[in-house]
Amino acid sequence: MKVLIFGATGMIGRAVLLECLRDADVDLVVSLARQAIGILDGKLREIIHHDFTDFSAMEESLSGFDACFYCLGISSAGLSEADYSRVTLTYTMAAAEPISRLNPTMKFIFVSGVGTDSTENGRVMWARVKGRAENALLRLPFQAYMFRPGFIEPLDGIESRTPLYRKLYAISRPLFPLLRRAFPNHVLTTRQIGRAMLQVARQGYPRHILEPRDIRLAAGPARNRP
């Protein structure tokens, strides 16, 4: 399997990257980002690209993939709808449209969020914009799946790039075991999300929008780490 990852420097992007590097079925992992991700591995290739509104000059590098994990995103805090839409919708579709044309049989997995508004008309700005992005992706010819995780427990040294989230995770870390037991369908680890994304890339899933419970089911039972 050959996979393409956008946003491998972020929390979920790093999670699925680690799963792909561990998995014997994955032959090639291509990370497309603005900066190097700092991992050396024989099956990892990095492409540094700065203009996420235009991929026309590199279409040859976007062809021949079985799956794409699109994990690029930002917090909506303090942003206008236009600025948030530029990253969440404009960047996403600028990449997804040529990718779908070049890889029509691939599985494209987009990281969204619990509470996303599929009607595109709700009162919450980020949810509306995520809903627009999801709906636009579902109209493209490849097999698109929307992942909507809720509360995420970071493992394997993974950290959020958002300072506020890092503080919240530090405060809540002692509560994670209790939260997992009390809310198994709402609290997911980065390992579970990464494992679920790779499994859906292999076999698909009965639904094209995966809520936290679906992600947990797709991930399957936990495995011991080397």
Count of domains for the chain? 1
Query: Would residue 30 count as lying in a domain?
Result: yes
We report the CATH number of the domain holding residue 137 as 3.40.50.720
pLDDT in tens, 169-193: 666 667 667 766 776 677 899 999 9
Query: Would residue 224 count as lying in a domain?
Result: no
Mean pLDDT by 10 residues, the chain (226 residues): 96 96 97 92 96 95 97 93 97 98 97 96 97 98 96 82 64 69 79 97 97 95 62
Q: Tell me the HSE value of 53 on the side-chain side, using a 13 A CA sphere.
A: 4
Are residues 7 and 71 in contact, defined by beta-carbon separation less than 8 angstroms?
Answer: yes
Identity of residue 10: G
The C-alpha atoms of residue 154 and residue 131 are separated, in whole angstroms, by: 25
pLDDT at 225: 52
CA-to-CA separations, 2 to 10, 12, 27, 107, in angstroms, rounded: 20, 19, 6, 11
Residue 115 burial (10 A CB sphere; 0-12, 13-18, 19+): middle
Boundaries of domain holding 70: 2-219
Sign, Cα dihedral of 117, 193, 138, 200: negative
CA-to-CA separations, 168 to 8, 77, 178, in angstroms, rounded: 22, 15, 16
For the record, the structure tokens of 70 come out as: 């699109």
Query: Would residue 226 count as lying in a domain?
Result: no
Query: Would residue 164 count as lying in a domain?
Result: yes
Query: Would residue 214 count as lying in a domain?
Result: yes
Query: Would residue 136 count as lying in a domain?
Result: yes
CA-to-CA separations, 47 to 35, 81, 204, in angstroms, rounded: 9, 29, 27
